[in-house]
Structure 1
Amino acid sequence: MKRRDFLQKLPILAAPILLSGIPIRLLGKENEFFQLAASNPDSDRVLVLIQLHGGNDGLNTLVPINQYSQYYTLRSNIAIPQTGAGKYLNLDNTLPDNAKIGLHPSMTGVKNLYDQGKVAIVQGVEYENLNQSHFRSRDIWFMGGDYNDYIGSGWAGRYLDKVYPSYPEQYPNPEMEDPLAIEVGSGVSLIFHRDSGLPMSISINDPEGFFDLITTTGTEPPDNLANTYYGEELKYILDVDKQSNKYADRLKAVYQNGGNSTVVYPTTYNSTAPSAYSRNELAPQLKMIARLLSGGCKTRVFMVRLTKFDTHAQQVESYDPSVGRHAALLYHISGAMEAFQNDLKALNLEDRVMSVTFSEFGRRAQSNGSYGTDHGTSAPMFVFGKCVKPGVVGVNPDLSNLDNGNLRQQHDYRQVFTALVQDWMGASPEALVATKFDSFTSKKADIVSCVSQTVGIDKTEFFNERFKLNSCYPNPASNSATFSFFLNGEKQASLKLFDTNGNLVKTLFEDTSGIGLHSIAANLEDLNPGSYIYTLQTGIERISKTMLIQR
Structure 2
Amino acid sequence: MLQRRHFLQAGAAAALAPWAQMQALAQTSGPGYKALVCLFLFGGNDGNNLLVPIDARWNDYQRARPNLAIAQDQLLPLNFSNGGAARYGLHPAMPGLQALVNAGQASFVANLGTLVRPTTKADIQANRVPLPLNLYSHSDQQGATQSGWADQPPRHGWGGRLLERSVAQGAANRGYAAISVAGGNIWEASDAGLTPYRVSPGGRFGFDFYDPAGSDPLSSAITGLLAEQRSNAFERTWLNIVTRSIENQRVLSAAVNGSTLTTPFPGSGLGQQLQMVAKLINAQAALGQSRQCFFASIGGFDTHGDDQLQRQNELLGEISEAVAAFHAALLEMGRADQVTLFSASDFGRNLPSNGAGTDHAWGSHHFVLGAGLPGGRLYGRFPDLTIDGPDDIGQGSWVPACSTEQLGSELAAWFGADAATRAAVFPNGAYFPRLPGL
Q: Indicate the TM-score class for this superposition, using the shorter chain for normalisation.
A: 0.7 to 0.9
Task: Write 1 or 2 for the structure with the bigger share of strand.
Answer: 1
Please tell me whether residue 159 in structure 1 is matched to residue 144 in structure 2.
no
Amino acid at match of 2:143: D
Equivalence for 1:55? 44
Equivalence for 1:110? 97
Q: Percent identity?
A: 25
Please tell me whether residue 417 in structure 1 is matched to residue 408 in structure 2.
yes
Equivalence for 1:309? 301
Please tell me whether residue 194 in structure 1 is matched to residue 190 in structure 2.
yes
What is the TM-score of this pair, normalised by structure 2? Answer: 0.80
2:270/2:298 contact within 8 Å kept: yes
Equivalence for 2:118? none
Equivalence for 2:198? 203
Q: Which of 178, 181, 192 is the aligned partner of 1:181?
A: 178
Equivalence for 2:144? 140
Superposition pairs for residues 279-318 of structure 1, below 5 Å? 280-295=268-283, 296=285, 297=287, 298=289, 300-316=292-308
Equivalence for 1:389? 374
Q: 1:224 to 1:312 in 2, by over 3 A?
A: farther
Superposition pairs for residues 487-526 of structure 1, below 5 Å? none
Superposition pairs for residues 29-428 of structure 1, below 5 Å? 29-30=20-21, 40-42=29-31, 44-66=33-55, 67-83=57-73, 87-92=74-79, 96=83, 99-128=86-115, 129-130=131-132, 131-146=135-150, 148-164=151-167, 166=169, 170=170, 175-176=172-173, 179-186=176-183, 188-197=184-193, 199-205=194-200, 207-208=201-202, 210-211=203-204, 213=206, 215-217=208-210, 219=222, 232=234, 236=237, 239-240=240-241, 242-243=243-244, 245-261=246-262, 263-267=263-267, 280-295=268-283, 296=285, 297=287, 298=289, 300-316=292-308, 321=309, 324-370=310-356, 372-390=357-375, 391-400=377-386, 401=389, 402-405=392-395, 406-422=397-413, 424-428=414-418
Q: 1:32 to 1:15 in 2, by over 3 A?
A: same
1:414/1:440 contact within 8 Å kept: no
Amino acid at match of 2:370: G
Deviation larger for 331-340 or 295-304: 295-304
User: How far apart are 1:381 and its partner, in Å?
Assistant: 1.7
1:182/1:202 contact within 8 Å kept: yes
Q: What residue ranges of structure 2 are gaps of 5+ in the alignment?
A: 1-6, 116-130, 211-218
What is the TM-score of this pair, normalised by structure 1? Answer: 0.64
1:135-181 CA deviation, whole Å, 9 max, x = no partner? 011111122213x3124222222222223463xxx4xx5x4466110
2:15/2:245 contact within 8 Å kept: no
Aligned length: 391
1:185/1:203 contact within 8 Å kept: yes
Amino acid at match of 2:189: H
Counterpart secondary structure, 1:70: helix
Q: What residue ranges of structure 1 are gaps of 5+ in the alignment?
A: 1-11, 268-279, 449-551
2:41/2:299 contact within 8 Å kept: yes
Q: 1:440 to 1:283 in 2, by over 3 A?
A: farther
Superposition pairs for residues 518-537 of structure 1, below 5 Å? none
Equivalence for 1:532? none
Q: 1:264 to 1:193 in 2, by over 3 A?
A: closer
Counterpart secondary structure, 2:176: coil
Q: Aligned partners of 1:284 and 1:44: how far apart in 2?
A: 23
Q: Aligned partners of 1:117 and 1:440: how far apart in 2?
A: 30
Q: Aligned partners of 1:16 and 1:429: how far apart in 2?
A: 42
User: How far apart are 1:31 and its partner, in Å?
Assistant: 5.5
Counterpart secondary structure, 2:261: coil
1:415/1:445 contact within 8 Å kept: yes
User: How far apart are 1:32 and its partner, in Å?
Assistant: 6.7
Q: Aligned partners of 1:212 and 1:193: how far apart in 2?
A: 20
Larger radius of gyration between Structure 1 and Structure 2: 1
Counterpart secondary structure, 2:146: helix
Counterpart secondary structure, 2:110: strand
Q: 1:58 to 1:136 in 2, by over 3 A?
A: same
Q: Aligned partners of 1:339 and 1:14: how far apart in 2?
A: 38
CA RMSD of aligned residues (A): 3.1
Q: Aligned partners of 2:393 and 2:41: how far apart in 1?
A: 24
Q: Aligned partners of 2:9 and 2:344: how far apart in 1?
A: 25
Amino acid at match of 1:62: L
User: How far apart are 1:377 and its partner, in Å?
Assistant: 0.6
1:419/1:447 contact within 8 Å kept: no
1:53/1:308 contact within 8 Å kept: yes
Counterpart secondary structure, 2:190: coil
Q: Aligned partners of 1:32 and 1:125: how far apart in 2?
A: 34
Q: Aligned partners of 1:59 and 1:254: how far apart in 2?
A: 41
Q: Aligned partners of 2:82 and 2:41: how far apart in 1?
A: 26
Task: Write 1 or 2 for the structure with the bigger share of helix.
Answer: 2
User: How far apart are 1:14 and its partner, in Å?
Assistant: 11
Superposition pairs for residues 440-479 of structure 1, below 5 Å? 440=430, 443-446=433-436, 448=438
Q: 1:124 to 1:238 in 2, by over 3 A?
A: farther
1:196-218 CA deviation, whole Å, 9 max, x = no partner? 55x5311123x02x146463337
